[in-house]
């Protein structure tokens, strides 16, 4: 990739129109290019078969396409699919397709690595390398959508930004990717089918409210007690529960959206009734639903999976407080594709000549 070339997927539709007009091409070429980039997700200008040789050569001389490349794929016994995607010559991210009887979900990454170092998460052991571009996020969705259709004859129903990275620390690119996914010119997916999950950055949650986003917001809570939450999530030291509650109230006032609280339940740490009472008290801050998530052990991790009777008692207590509660059983554990396991046993990407050729 030549440094002088620009990423064409950084241009929005209006910028594409200005580009083609500046190249003395008819305005409708912008629509064709946009469809190739975002609907058909082609990885090279040569694939844009209806543009003509002259325009293709002009585009190739000035731009590149930040397409991702599949470098590894594993399929779980429960049909969950984990994909490692090469995003540059040094880095890979992971995306997961989760098919169930009621929905088919694409779980995508927003960053290469992560800076938050949550103790229970394998990705948190990696240092942050860089943010993903909107194109690299959309590509994950398109690839997983195609896998759902081709392997399982299923339509992709949901998208969750719950893979590697903290989405709100890649705010601009994440929102741009959502715009592309939901645009009529793009994939036309309803924003209510998209959930962005955050470890809890109060000022960015407020910004989501100011921007009046239409997608769903999930907060990775995991403890409704500052001391416990800070022990497992360093971010809580600078974004404590009181600040998060204020930000969530602000978000709800601006968007009228119900928030999801994600609560990974650990044996002997946050699985007692007193923990459930603290969660019920915190949940009063905003209309919400609660997802209790089965913990998935990682290599050399300090936590264990909570006992089933404790999980059931925990959920029953919350339900007795008239809260909406779902217990999420893990999928894809045998291939380290479950919640918190991404990058747990991530192998170095082998840069074969074929993969390098696809990235050029």
At 238, list the tokens: 């600078």
Residue 99 phi, psi dihedral angles, 5° rounding: -90, 130
Q: Over the range 129-168, which residues count as b (16 or more CB within 10 Å of their CB) and which as e?
A: bebbbbbbbbbbbbbbbebbeeeeebebbbbbbbbbbbbb
DSSP H/E element including 93: strand 92-99
Please check whether residue 129 is in contact with residue 112, taking contact to mean a CB–CB distance below 8 angstroms: yes
At 10, list the tokens: 């950084």
Please check whether residue 54 is in contact with residue 74, taking contact to mean a CB–CB distance below 8 angstroms: no
107 included as an active-site residue: no
In angstroms, the CA 120 to CA 306 distance is 13
Indicate which residue of 94, 166, 262, 294 is catalytic.
94
**Of 149, 150, 116, 312, nearest to 232 (Cα)?**
116
Indicate which residue of 83, 107, 114, 339 is catalytic.
339
Residues noted as catalytic: 94, 339
């Amino acid at each position: 990739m030549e440094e002088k070339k620009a990423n064409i997927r950084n241009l929005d539709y209006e910028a594409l129109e200005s580009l083609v007009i500046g190249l003395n091409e008819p305005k409708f070429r912008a629509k064709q290019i946009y469809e190739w980039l975002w609907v058909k997700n082609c990885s090279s200008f040569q694939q844009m078969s209806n543009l003509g040789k002259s325009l293709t050569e002009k585009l190739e001389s000035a731009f590149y396409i930040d397409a991702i490349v599949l470098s590894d794929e594993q399929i779980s016994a429960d049909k969950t699919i984990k994909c490692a995607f090469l995003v540059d010559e040094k880095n890979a991210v992971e995306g997961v397709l989760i098919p169930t009887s009621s929905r088919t979900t694409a779980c995508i990454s927003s960053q290469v690595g992560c800076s938050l170092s949550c103790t229970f998460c394998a990705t948190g052991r990696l240092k942050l390398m860089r943010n993903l571009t909107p194109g690299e996020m959309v590509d994950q969705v398109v690839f997983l959508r195609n896998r759902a259709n081709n392997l399982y004859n299923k339509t992709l129903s949901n998208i969750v930004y719950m893979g590697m990275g903290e989405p709100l620390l890649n705010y601009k690119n994440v929102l741009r990717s959502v715009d592309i996914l939901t645009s009529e010119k793009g994939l036309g997916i309803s924003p209510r089918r998209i959930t962005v999950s955050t470890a809890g950055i109060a000022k960015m949650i407020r910004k989501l409210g100011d921007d009046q986003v239409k997608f769903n917001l999930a907060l990775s809570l995991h403890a409704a007690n500052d001391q416990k939450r800070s022990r497992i999530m360093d971010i809580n030291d600078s974004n404590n529960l009181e600040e998060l509650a204020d930000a969530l109230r602000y978000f709800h006032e601006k968007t009228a959206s119900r928030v999801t609280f994600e609560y990974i339940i650990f044996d002997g740490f946050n699985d007692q009734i007193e923990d459930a009472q603290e969660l019920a008290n915190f949940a009063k801050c905003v209309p919400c639903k609660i997802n209790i998530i089965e913990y998935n052990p990682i290599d050399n991790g300090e936590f264990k999976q909570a006992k089933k009777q404790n999980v059931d008692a925990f959920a029953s207590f919350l339900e007795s407080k008239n809260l909406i509660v779902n217990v999420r059983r893990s999928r894809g554990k045998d291939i380290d594709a479950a919640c918190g396991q991404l990058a747990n046993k991530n192998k170095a990407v082998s840069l074969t000549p074929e993969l390098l050729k696809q990235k050029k």
